Amino acid sequence: MITHETVSARAPGRVELLGNHTDYNEGVVLGAAINRLIRVSGTKNPGSVRVTSAGFGKIEVHPSSLRPLQEARWANYTLGVADELRRLNVPIDGFTAHISGDLPVGAGLSSSAALELASALFLLKLFAFDLPPLEIAKACQRAEHHYVGVKSGLLDQVISLFARAQHAVFFDCRSEQIRTVPFPASLALIVAESGKNRELAGGDYNLRRTETNAAARAFGVRALRDLTSAQIYGRLDIPELLRRRALHIVEENERVWRAVELLEAEDGHGFGKLMNASHESSRRNFDNSTPELDLLTSIAQQLPGVLGARLTGAGFGGATVTLCERTAADSIALQLARNYTAQMGTNAKVFVCEIADGARADYSS
């Protein structure tokens, strides 16, 4: 008998607090989930896979012929996850899946990982199969590699899946250690969308991965994780571009280790200084900032009550994250939006975000 039980799952977006492009270099990262999410809901539908989205349309394919789509690329996240889960022996047949939510797309808040995880948890519940959480995250990462063409690290999936409310998530991408660190209640985070959307599959992200791999080979190490900043400064024989790429990654790792200590000591001022230094390194060493992100960061850093600001996520457009005193958060967000509009001539979507719990399946009906 065919049942039409409706299943739903949700996954939050994330802000990368520190650890820019360190994940695929076997480094360490620090991030937090935010209270904006993607939801996937639907039922079993033998013989057909139908995916719909109010913003993007609908697609329908046969379950036996899952492959990346060239037109409706937005559906590749869900289709890729279904394919990867099936390779892990999840008995996926046909299904309907409707995508919804309030997480902005292309803003550097990891809507892609949120969609992948919501799709994965939806399908695992729909077809009654269990997998360890880290295996779910890795399956989602592989879907992004194979179906979307972005050779992403594991940062986004881990933060969205393992997050806890009012905690940052620390992830060591070599040892795969994951732990949560309490986030001071006196502090708040503000997200500001620059209005310049990212398109990581366009090449900049994958190029940085190629460059950092080349830098590791030039320095004679397995990964940039194995270098110190002092070693980089001492090697003037390395091409300047590769030295700058390496310096960004290595100093980002050092900033993450220090940031965990500062969070545990509730030192928001020290943490904010690390965020400022991170953005400056993105601008000077990694070339993944933009004039819009630089302006948002500069405006924020000059406002009373702000402790630090930086781009969040891969860069090349998207959003910034600002650390500030909670009591001033609303007024800072308003002023940041006003100043950006006055100087750039375009509106910035700015909001104070709460640090949220991680992805989960919701309910059946």
DSSP codes of every residue in 141-154: HHHIIIII-----S
pLDDT at 106: 77
Catalytic residue among 83, 156, 172, 287: 156
Question: How far apart are the C-alpha atoms of 214 and 247, rounded to whole Å?
Answer: 13
Question: How far apart are the C-alpha atoms of 252 and 241, rounded to whole Å?
Answer: 17
Handedness of CA 199, 204, 210, 212 (dihedral sign): negative
What is the rounded radius of gyration, in angstroms, for the C-alpha atoms of the chain? 20
- The DSSP result for 278-316, as a single string, is HHHHIIIII----HHHHHHHHHHHTSTTEEEEEEESS-S
Q: Does the domain spanning 7-179 belong to CATH 3.30.540.10?
A: no
Question: How far apart are the C-alpha atoms of 40 and 118, rounded to whole Å?
Answer: 6
Residue whose structure tokens are 């620059």: 194
Tokens, residue 258: 């220090």
Q: Which CATH class is domain 183-353?
A: alpha beta
Q: How many CA atoms lie within 13 A of 351 on its CB side?
A: 14
For residue 70, count CB atoms less than 10 angstroms from its CB and return exposed for 0-12, middle for 13-18, buried for 19 or more.
exposed
Backbone angles phi, psi at 228, to 5 degrees: -110, 160
SS3 185: coil
Question: How far apart are the C-alpha atoms of 227 and 254, rounded to whole Å?
Answer: 10
Tokens, residue 212: 């950092």
For residue 173, count CB atoms less than 10 angstroms from its CB and return exposed for 0-12, middle for 13-18, buried for 19 or more.
buried
Cβ–Cβ contacts within 10 Å for residue 150, how many?
18
Same CATH topology for 7-179 and 183-353: the answer is: no
SS3 32: strand
For residue 354, count CB atoms less than 10 angstroms from its CB and return exposed for 0-12, middle for 13-18, buried for 19 or more.
middle
Cβ-proximal residues to 231 (8 Å cutoff; 6+ apart), any chain: 219
Question: How far apart are the C-alpha atoms of 289 and 239, rounded to whole Å?
Answer: 21
Q: Per-residue confidence of the chain (365 residues) as pLDDT tens digits?
A: 345 789 999 999 999 999 999 999 999 999 999 999 999 999 999 999 999 998 899 999 999 889 999 889 999 999 999 999 999 999 999 999 999 999 988 777 889 999 999 999 999 999 999 999 999 999 999 999 999 887 888 989 999 999 999 999 999 999 999 999 999 999 999 999 998 776 554 588 889 999 999 999 999 999 999 999 999 998 999 999 999 999 999 999 999 999 999 999 999 999 999 999 999 999 999 999 999 999 999 999 999 999 999 999 989 999 999 999 999 999 999 999 999 999 998 888 999 999 999 999 986 65
Cβ-proximal residues to 336 (8 Å cutoff; 6+ apart), any chain: 190, 192, 296, 299, 300, 303, 322, 348, 350
Would residue 156 show up in a list of annotated catalytic residues for this protein?
A: yes
pLDDT at 329: 98
- What ranges do the domains of the chain cover? 7-179, 183-353
Q: In this structure, what is the dihedral angle of CA atoms 15, 20, 24, 25, given to the nearest 10 degrees?
A: -150
H or E element at residue 92: none
